[in-house]
Structure 1
Amino acid sequence: MPSSGLPGQDITGTIYALSSAPGRAGVAVVRLSGPGAGPALTALAGRLPPPRQAARALLKDATGGAIDDALVLWFPGPGSFTGEDVAEFHIHGGRAVLAALFAALRARPGLRLAEPGEFSRRAFAHGKLDLTQAEAIADLIDAETEAQRRQGLTQLQGELGRLYERWRQSLLRALAHLEADIDFPEEDLPEGVADAVKPQVRALSAELAAHLADNRRGERLRDGVGVVILGAPNVGKSSLLNALARREAAIVSDIAGTTRDIVEVHLDLGGYPVVLADTAGLRETADRIESEGVRRALARADSADLKLVVIDAAAWPDLPAATAALIDSDTLLIANKTDTRPLPEGASYQGRPVLPLSVSTGAGLDELLELLGTEIAARYSPSGTASLTRARHREALEHCHAALARFLANDGDTELAAEDLRLAARALGRITGSVGVEDILDIVFRDFCIGK
């Protein structure tokens, strides 16, 4: 685990911040970390409570004025979240109470307000977390659905970091054999050392390739599954968006071409995060603005994980050419307005079932939600192993896989083979923070909130 300091940041001082949500609340939690945490707690509460036990205390400022009747906790380092001395004040969550406590802390020498993510960054610096676990804290804070919570918790518990560290240690062992062959040629070492380690490297490469070929499951759970509604004008796309969102997110009109830009809503669908997008009606048009809307709709269709292609039941089975061109294995085909013209029993198009729907009456809406939820779960449900959750992880793993491919293709140059293994191990180490991460720390922690 990393134990180095943080480039460009002082980790010797004492920091404080509000660790609970800002605004009025029953309880607010203020956390301190650093060598000044104990003295500050003693000064305000009058004593240090027993480690890891909550104690009631009347907090007072430097003049003896009462601040609040609070609970305080003391976590001496290294047995704390950050690895440093940590103190917590659990105060009443009024703004005036918090302002008074902050004023008392600000008046103490050596204390300063924490930067966003600095508590987690200090935990990383003191070996309490690897980078994947630090990122998981941010994911748990941002989690809005059950699937996001489960994924974040799995990563926080270190499953992803342990997987990558196991791979890295395997590569380092193989590298050690190659370096021994390079550094001690006069020793009586077995011939063909590189060939001897190739089977284990080949097996690891296959495991890594399978990990990468995950349909971006972890990234989709973190960022949201992209679902786009497509179809000709006036088939009920915007009405469907509003029905699924249970609010008027898009303007609905019988005037063709009302929707010209992409309208997004975020949904929790069976515990999975979904980004649902309404788009412009697909048709040829001389209107430059509407034409741009059509272009954006088609571009969104290309990048979507799932497409809800909507047709007018009255036009069945004749589909507009632009609509028919969108139907593929990522499509759910929906016939709307079946209240005015029922769809034939078991209707299908090119072997794909057509779901009957009437947005105006709600008939078929529950079936659509169930089908959509089933489809998303089948594609993105947890596989039983930790999934990579960030583009940073994927990029490093792709570099690692490319280095392993070069190693396996090597025809006998031991020094080049060793360098490829070294690059592969280094790429894995950069994910967890084991090696060479100074230039990516700011990227990892920049989106944290203050107090975490």
Structure 2
Amino acid sequence: MQTLPSDTVAGDTIVALSSGALPAAVAVVRLSGPNAGPALAALCGGRLPPPRRAVLRRLVRRSDGAPLDRALVLWLPGPGTATGEDMAELHLHGGRAVVAAVIAELASGPAAFARPAEPGEFTRRAFLAGRMDLAAVEGLADLLAAETEAQRVQALAQAGGALSSRIADWRSRLIEARALLEASLDFSDEADVAEVAEQQAIAEAAGLRSALAVALADAGRGERLRDGFQVALMGPPNAGKSSLMNALASREVAIVTAEAGTTRDVIEVHLDLGGYPVTVADTAGLRETAGEAEREGIRRALSRGRDADLVVWLDPPDETALEPPGELGGSLWRIRTKADLEPGHELRSPVEGSSADGAAGVPGRISVSSGEGIGDLVAAIGAAAAQSLKGGEDALVTRARHRAAIEDAVACLDRATMAGFIAPELRAEELRRAGDALGRVVGAVGVEAVLGRIFSSFCIGK
């Protein structure tokens, strides 16, 4: 479902459940818009509570005065609210029938005070009211979706304006450089003054270009931390990939049978290893096969292997080893499976696995049945994830959209600082375009096309 266009939002009052799934101990229902006050007063029997104070009230139905609930209510007059509008909050008992009755009283019938909110509409109103910029909105979305400690730290910084404040500083430096170029034009009849001002502008733009390049250099870690460290389990059929997947997930997420080709699609499980997000994918066994469904599964397996940060290639002991395809991306670890089936496995010492990147601690063999090597493998994957993602918490650039806009700004600055004679007017135009590119990050310039996509990713009530 898409959020409403910005030109249809003004004037409406919206209502939604903003807390978690029902039933719950407490359910929070929010209203925002010009009817928030009258709606709250009607529910409270005609009396508005004092502003910004939580008050216990008996909520009643307008038609017959029948009680709906006893709840804590808050009246939050605008513009000093999250959305910039009048708001109200109802802290109800968290039963489904209670919440349904209260929302029906507010949003049903010809005399309804409000309409149900669309996904992300409260946050969209905050953006339109200037309470948040687009980078902070995206940080809030990431905070709601965060599954690990590192993701929480990164998202909290974004929601708190880490990137926004840096963008504001960069745009301020661009304004300074443009002002110097304007001065060179104003004093064009005084060659020495004009030349000094233009050189100062070029130096300022070059320094800014270096700052942007530093931010871009760390963009990969920021984006990878949002998406998680990607691990693909690969190998021939019946190598034990699905069994290992279940062991890593500590639950049965993949079907395990003795029949070759059981796994035909990519199955994912999300892990939190040492505070870092790791996505492990179980893939179809690689072999020459005539079945159309299995061929598609193999195609998807190879695609996942190419995109993975780490491929764990499993070799069964009872078959001739299959060499991994050369097209796989990231690091490659080769591990022998089903160690419990090998004679005398209880007496053997652990061995190191084959690791293309020289990673330490990778077990050479594992057994899901006996547990041999599983703990070492989990620890090794966690260490690899930490090495790949560490520092992403502090990265300013966390989305491809941010990176593309800053890359555009860098390209403009490259043209603005080119050596040789270039008309100051052209340099100034490139600086203006660089400022517009940075403005797109925070939603100050030309982002209407992306608003619907961003806000539709929010839950209803946020």
Do both share a fold (TM > 0.5)? Answer: yes
Deviation of 1:243 after TM superposition, in Å, equals 0.9
TM-score, normalisation: structure 1: 0.89
Give the corresponding residue for 2:165: 162
Q: 1:40 to 1:278 in 2, by over 3 A?
A: same
Which residue in 1 is equivalent to 2:407? 398
**Aligned partners of 1:225 and 1:274 also within 8 Å:** yes
The reply to whether residue 42 of structure 1 matches residue 51 of structure 2 is no
Superposition map of 1:191-340 within 5 A: 191-214=195-218, 216-313=220-317, 319-322=321-324, 325=326, 330-340=331-341
Contact map agreement 1:159 1:386 (CA 8 A) in 2: no
2:106–2:113 Cα contact (<8 Å) kept: no
Distance 1:350 1:382 in 2: 24
The aligned residue for residue 116 of structure 2 is 113
**Distance in 2, Cα, partners of 1:421 & 1:381:** 34
CA contact (8 A) 2:154 2:394 kept: no
> What is the CA-CA distance between 1:335 and the residue it aligns to?
2.4
Q: Match of 2:75, SS?
A: strand
Deviation at 1:211, TM superposition (A): 1.8
| Partner residue of 2:147 out of 144, 147, 157 | 144
**Structure 2 stretches of 5 or more lacking a match?**
none
Shift of 1:237: 1.4
Mapped partners of 1:139, 1:303: distance in 2: 22
1:187-246 Cα offsets, whole Å, 9 max, x none, are 674315443233332232222222222362232232332210112232211211111112
Which residue in the other structure is 2:10 paired with?
11
Report sequence identity in percent: 49
Q: For 1:247 and 1:345, how far apart are their aligned partners in 2?
A: 26
> 2:438: which partner in 1?
428
Seen in structure 2, the aligned counterparts of structure 1 residues 350 and 147 have a Cα distance that, compared at 3 Å, is closer
- In 1, the alpha carbon distance for the partners of 2:283 and 2:400 equals 27
What is the DSSP-based 3-state SS (H/G/I as helix, E as strand, rest coil) of the residue aligned with 1:227?
strand
The C-alpha deviation readout for 1:247-277, integer Å capped at 9, x for no partner, is 2222223333332332222223333222211
Q: Which runs of 5+ in 1 are unaligned?
A: none
CA contact (8 A) 2:26 2:93 kept: yes
Q: Contact 2:232 / 2:308 at 8 angstroms: preserved in 1?
A: yes
- Mark the CA change 1:256 to 1:102 in structure 2 (over 3 Å): closer, same or farther: closer
How far is 1:319 from its partner? 4.8
Secondary structure of the structure 1 residue equivalent to 2:157: helix
Q: Which residue of 2 aligns with 1:21?
A: 20
2:98 is aligned to 97
Contact 2:183-2:194 within 8 A present in 1 as well: no
Counterparts of 1:56 and 1:328, CA distance in 2: 60
Deviates more, 1:326-335 or 1:42-51: 326-335
How far, CA to CA, are the matches of 1:275 and 1:348 in structure 2?
Answer: 21
Question: How far off is 1:305 after superposition?
Answer: 1.6
Give the SS at the match of 2:278: strand
Structure 1 position 186, deviation (Å): 4.4
Number of paired residues? 445
What is the CA distance between 1:426 and its match in structure 2? 0.7
SS at match of 1:436: coil
Give the C-alpha shift of residue 424 in structure 1.
Answer: 1.1
Matching residue of 1:416: 426
Label 1:429 to 1:279 Cα distance change in 2 as closer, same or farther (>3 A).
same
Q: 1: distance between equivalents of 2:436 and 2:32?
A: 31
Query: Which amino acid is 2:22 matched to?
Result: G
Distance in 1, matches of 2:132 and 2:303, equals 40
Aligned 8 A contact 2:308 2:330 in 1: no
What SS does structure 1 have at the residue aligned with 2:264? coil
Cα separation, 2, equivalents of 1:97 and 1:178: 64
The residue number in structure 2 matching 1:127 is 130
Structure 2 residue identity aligned to 1:406: R
Q: 1:334 to 1:349 in 2, by over 3 A?
A: closer
Instruction: Kindly indicate whether residue 171 of structure 2 is the aligned counterpart of residue 172 of structure 1.
Output: no
How far apart are the structure 2 equivalents of 1:109 and 1:115?
17
Report the Cα distance in structure 2 between the residues aligned to 1:350 and 1:105, rounded to whole angstroms: 62
